[in-house]
Each structure stands twice: as structure tokens, then as C-alpha cells.
Amino acid sequence: MLKKGINGKIILLFVLLFVMSNASADSLFVFKNEKSVGQISGLYYYKDADSKLSVEEVQEKDSFILNLQPVTNLGIINSAVWIKVKVRNESSQSNLVLGISYPILDEVELYEINESGVRSLGKQGDQFPYSQRIYDHQHFLFDISIPANETRSYILRVKTWEQMVLPIFVGTPKVVMESNLTQDLIFGIFFGIMLSLVLYNLFIYFTVRDSSYLFYVTYIFLISLTQACLNGYTLRFLFPDHPALANSSLILINSCAGLASIRFIQLFMDTKKFVPTLNKFYYVIGAIYLGGIIFILAGAKQVSYNLMDLGGFLISFYTLFIAIKISLKGSKPAKLFLLAWSVFLIGVILFVLKNVGVLPANSYTNHLLTFGVATEGILLSIALATRINDYKKDKEASQLEAYQLLEEKKQIVLNQNIILEEKVKERTLELNEAVIHLKETQSQLVDAEKMASLGQLTAGISHEINNPINFVVSNIKPLKRDIQEIISILNKYGEISDPAQLKEKLEEINSLKKKLDSDYLIEEINLLLKGIDEGANRTSEIVKGLKNFARTDEADLKKTNIHESIEATLTLLNNSLSENKIRVEKNFGSIPQVECYPGKINQVIMNLLSNAIDALRPVSNPSKVISIETQLSGNDVIIHISDNGVGIPKEIISKIFDPFYTTKDVGEGTGLGLSIVYGIIKSHNGKIDVRSEVNKNTTFAITLPVQHQN
């Protein structure tokens, strides 16, 4: 997870004197053994603060500093660094390779200095496409040519925003590539182990659904990718044509690995339970990792790198402290985790000691961190497996305890069977009485439902008849007054007895007619008579509709006009429709008369229309519509009654025809209306279906055979 879990600067202070006492003041590197790779130490370097100097200008500088570390480690610096290297070839091979085995440097440019001047031998770096490399490897490799027993001088220009470590080596192309292949093989084995751990534990996660496995798999996968970033494999294999992405991937992947490790640590060691207060500091570390991700995405690379190192340092030693503390409380998972984490930290520390020169750089020390990560992953996997075994043992113990309890309860049940049998007999008698009472109650509720429908019907009829009757009554008084005034005019004509008074009487009559406005009186009388006539006709229609609805004289099967039944019901419900501002749309098809019980079918239509009105009452939509459609389908007549009201939720549609089921408030419904409707339709060998969407619409479809079948 860490490139370097420890900064190394403190250790460097203690080591530097020891190294200086063993270092040569001469920076010349002599290459003798052509069968091995030679590591160059004791380098002279110069910091180019502005990163703008040319190689010619650098040659003139006399302020190069001698670095006596076996592997030059300059830390995180903002400037370019120039390195002087002298190589004397005392081998039999003249074609050599000079390389740097630290693949995450941004820019590496090699110059050869000879008598004729300065010659560039190439420019590489992880900010350039991988296809520009001379050799197919992530290490920076340059071809150099030094005849036997001769010396060449070289200058390297190096720049990076990450930690600058310069393990420079010289060797023959064959030996260098063999060394690189060995490293690739080692990392291939490492990646194979880590991939096996990922797949194995991912399979276990899908089996046991323990989130610890999921975060472990995420952590192991990301820590493996972090190692791939550190060793240049992401640029080489994943992003060869996207160096900018490869350049930033170390921060992104390592920070995500840190976040995954925090969650895994919390779950695996149950830090919230054992150290609830100390557990909160992990959120601070997580915030540091998140800061690193934010800064790398914003382009502040060095800030993000420092945050990543800080997060790595904190989580490494803080987790070690937490693991020790929880282990002392007797937690077996914490003890196993402590072992795995200690191995990992030992690998990190040894890797840092190698980088600062305390340990020699060789094929073993170069892979200490990789070995530590792989060992940690294996030990954590074993720890997880051990925890599953503990869970299994606990489960078996629980099952055994449950079995024993079951046996005890079984004996108790056997002893209680006799008592229960007696209780069953008593309860059976009580149940029979309850069934009788229930039937009586059901009959009363059915009667109550009928009375409720009758009450609704009576209220509608009362209102509908009251309107035209009131209209007639209100017209009687003005009609009587107007007739009296006409009679008074006629009486004036009767007073004419003497022809000599004719002219005078006619003038009086004309004056009275003018005063009473006889023309208006005649017109008003006609209007009042017309209103009385309309009120009487409306009353007659209501009575006719009531008669059609009641069908008291049609209790047997009759050929019935369904449209007349619908119209009669709408007439009786006109008051409710008007009060709720509901518009009725009728789309009657050409259907024959249906053989049915007219009164019962009227009751079905009344109940469905009443329910539709109830569904539209709470709706604020100004366009409230009930749609009625009839059609003939084969030997059946289908009646669709739809509304755009509140609708019926899917989960209760299957219950609406059950007796006593209602969604209305207590006292507002018996829950028998639709149950009665369902029974009537079934008695006619028909069927009723319902479709509904909440807050959109509801449609009841009634199918009745034209010819009733016994």
C-alpha cells in the first residue's frame, strides 16, 4: 500500500556518518564483471532550481554535491537534478547498458561527454508514451558504448514530482535483460498469488456475504495495483498510450487502497466495539487519503504525494497500536491481524533501509516490500478463513444448544397434548357458537349494507324530487298574483253597462292595463306555467327512473335494457355527481337486451358508480370524469366503468372483493359492497375484473352473458 511507509530522513541522519566512512571520494565507477549488473554509488548531483539549464551550462557548474549513499535518494524536490557519472570499462564487452531501476521518474535524459562535445543518448520517462522506449521494459535503459579499458563521462538530467530515488546501474544488454526478466518473473508470481487471493476470497464473499471479505478483496486488489504502479507495470501494460493517467495512478490507486484498508481493519478487528473512541481517528486518516485524491485530480501532484505518504505513515503505525491494544483484550482476529500487519511493516522498514543505503540493493532487498505485501495478503486470508471457522464452531454450538432445547420442548409438548385435546374440544364448541354468531352478524351487516345503499338512494331521490317540486311551489305564488291582476282587468270590462260611459271606462281600463303592464303579465304567466310544466316533467322522470331502478315487479329473470338501467342509476346519483363536479362520459355500443335479474344488476351499477364518486371526492383535479362504456363481445355484454380518481394500490386489489374488507374509515363502510357485487355477477355466470393505477385511474369491467345459463 505504501511506496515508503516511513520518510527515511530520520534514519538517514544516523546512517550517513557510517556510509561516509566507507565511501570513496572518487565517483568513477569501474565495470569489470560482465556477468553481473554493477550498481553505481557515490554520485555527484546538482539541483537546477528553475529546471531551465542546458547541459552545456551545467558542465560549467562547479557546485556539484557528492552523495555518498549506496542508492542516491534525494527525497521530494521541485527542481530538476543533474547527475555526473564516470564509467570505466574493464570488461571484454564494449556495448553496455546504463539504466535506472526506478520506473516512476517523470523525465530521464542521458548525455555523453566526449572530446567533440555533448551528445544526447535519449530521453525517457513515465510522462512519455511507452512506445518511445528503446527496450521493452519499464526500467529506463540507455545504450552506451565504452571500448575496453577506456573511460566515458555521462550526465543525467532527472526530474519528477515524486520521491527521487536513483538506483543507477551498468551491465551488458544480455545480463540486464536477464535481470529484468527475473524481476518480471518475481512480480508475475506475486501478481499470481494476489490474484488467487482475490478470486478465492471473492468466491467466499458471495458464499457467506461477509462484507469483511469484500473490503479485503478490494484492498488486496488495489495494493497489488499499487505495486504495479511502483514498478512501472501500469504504464507498460495498462496505460502505454496514456502516460498522464499512469503518472497519476499511483496516488489514486494507493489512496483508494488506503480507504479500503481502513474499512477492512474496522470490520475485521471490530474496532467500533473494542476501541470506539480510537476508532474515530481512522476517519481522520480517511480524510487525508481523500485529500490526496482531490489534490491529484486538481493537478497539485506534490501535495497529493505528501498526503499519501502522511496517510500511509499514520495508518501503518496507528493500526499496529490498535492491533496490539485489541489483542491484549483477547481478540483472536486482532492477534492474527497483528501478525500479518507486522510482517508488512517489517517489509516496509527493510525496503526503506535499502533505499537509504543501510541495506545493500540486490535481487533480494529490491523485493522486500513486494514480499511483505504478498505475505500480509496470505496471512490476512488465513485469518479470515480462521474467523469463518470460528463462526462455524459457534454456529454448531448454537445448533446443538437449539437441539437440546428442542428435545426439552418436545417432551413438554408431549405432556401437554392431553390437556390440549381437552381444550380443543372446549374450543370447538365455542367455535361452533362463534360461527353461528358470525353468520348472524354477517346477515346483519349485509342488511346494513342494503340499508346504507337504500339511505344513499333515498337521499338522492329526496334531493332530486325536491328541486323540481320547489320550482313548482315557488312559481305558484307569483302565478296566482299575476292571474289576480289579469282578473282585475277583466272585472273592469264587466263594469261597462252604459254605452255613454264606454269611453271613460275604456280609458280607466287602459290606464289599469298600463299600470299593471298587462303584456308583461301575460308573458310572465306563460313563463311560470312553462317552469311548472318542466318541474312536473322532471318529477315524472325521476319517478320513472326510480321505478326502472327498483324493478319491484321484475324479481324474476327478464330481458333487460342495460342502457336504461345505467340511465336510471345516473338519474338517482345526479345530486352526488353535481355536488362533486363530476362529469359523466357515456359511450354506449350496440348491445342486445340481457337476460338477468334487473334489480340486482341495478344494485351492481349503483355500487360501482358510488365507489367511483367516492374515489373522486378527494381529487383536486378540476377534470373529474366517470366513463361508462358498453360493447358486445361474442355472446357477452361488457360494461366498463372507469374513473380518474385516487386508484387502488396493487397490493390490495386482490382483497377488494373479500367480505368485510374496506379501506374506508370506521363507520363509513361495512366492506360488503364489492363482495355483494361479486356475488351478484357470479350468480349471473359473469365475471368482474379490475385494473387500477394509483392517482391515475380505475376500471371495473363487468362481463354478462346475453343469455342466462342455469
Q: What pLDDT score was predicted for residue 455?
A: 54
Q: What pLDDT score was predicted for residue 442?
A: 55
Q: What pLDDT score was predicted for residue 661?
A: 66
Q: What pLDDT score was predicted for residue 512?
A: 75
DSSP per-residue string spanning 313-341: HHHHHHHHHHHHHHHTTT-HHHHHHHHHH
* Nearest Cα to Cα of residue 70 among 368, 366, 347: 366
How confident is the model over 610-622, as a mean pLDDT?
Answer: 84
Whether residue 5 is predicted with pLDDT greater than 50 in this model: the reply is no
* Alpha carbon distance 449, 455 (integer Å): 10
Give the Å distances, CA to CA, from 591 to 57, 317, 558, 600.
106, 88, 16, 19
User: What mean pLDDT, rounded, does the chain reach?
Assistant: 81
Q: What pLDDT score was predicted for residue 290?
A: 95
pLDDT in tens, 125-164: 988 999 889 899 999 999 999 999 999 999 999 999 888 9
Reported as a pLDDT band with limits 50, 70 and 90, residue 26 is very low
Q: What share of the chain is helix, strand, coil (3-state, %, to 5)?
A: 60, 15, 25
Q: Are 622 and 699 in contact (CB under 8 A)?
A: no
Q: What pLDDT score was predicted for residue 21?
A: 35
Q: What pLDDT score was predicted for residue 22?
A: 35
Beta bridge partners of residue 582, listed in sequence order? 624
How confident is the model over 180-208, as a mean pLDDT?
Answer: 89
Lowest mean pLDDT of 228-242, 374-388, 613-627, name the range: 374-388
Q: Are 594 and 625 in contact (CB under 8 A)?
A: no
- For residue 6, the 8-state DSSP code is S
Whether residue 529 is predicted with pLDDT greater than 80 in this model: the reply is no
pLDDT in tens, 307-363: 998 998 899 899 999 999 999 988 888 888 888 888 888 877 877 676 555 666 555
Q: What pLDDT score was predicted for residue 356?
A: 58
Whether residue 462 is predicted with pLDDT greater than 60 in this model: the reply is yes
Q: What pLDDT score was predicted for residue 2?
A: 34
Q: What pLDDT score was predicted for residue 113?
A: 92
Whether residue 12 is predicted with pLDDT greater than 50 in this model: the reply is no
* Nearest Cα to Cα of residue 616 among 572, 568, 584: 584
Q: Which 3-state string (H, E, C) describes 343-390?
A: HHHHHHHHHHHHHCCCCCCCCCHHHHHHHHHHHHHHHHHHHHHHHHHH
Instruction: Please report where in the chains the cell 505513515 appears, as a residue.
Output: 313
**Quick one: 16 exposed, middle or buried, by C-beta within 10 A (0-12, 13-18, 19+)?**
middle
Whether residue 402 is predicted with pLDDT greater than 60 in this model: the reply is yes
Whether residue 543 is predicted with pLDDT greater than 90 in this model: the reply is no
How confident is the model over 64-92, as a mean pLDDT?
Answer: 89
Lowest mean pLDDT of 107-116, 155-164, 660-669, name the range: 660-669
More confident residue, 82 or 520: 82
* Alpha carbon distance 632, 337 (integer Å): 78
- Structural domains present in the chain: 24-171 (2.60.40.2380), 182-392 (1.20.1070), 393-549 (no CATH), 554-705 (3.30.565.10)
pLDDT in tens, 437-453: 665 555 555 555 555 55
Most confident of 275-279, 359-363, 386-390, 677-681: 275-279
Q: Is the pTM of this model over 0.75?
A: no
Reported as a pLDDT band with limits 50, 70 and 90, residue 23 is very low
- For residue 25, the 8-state DSSP code is S
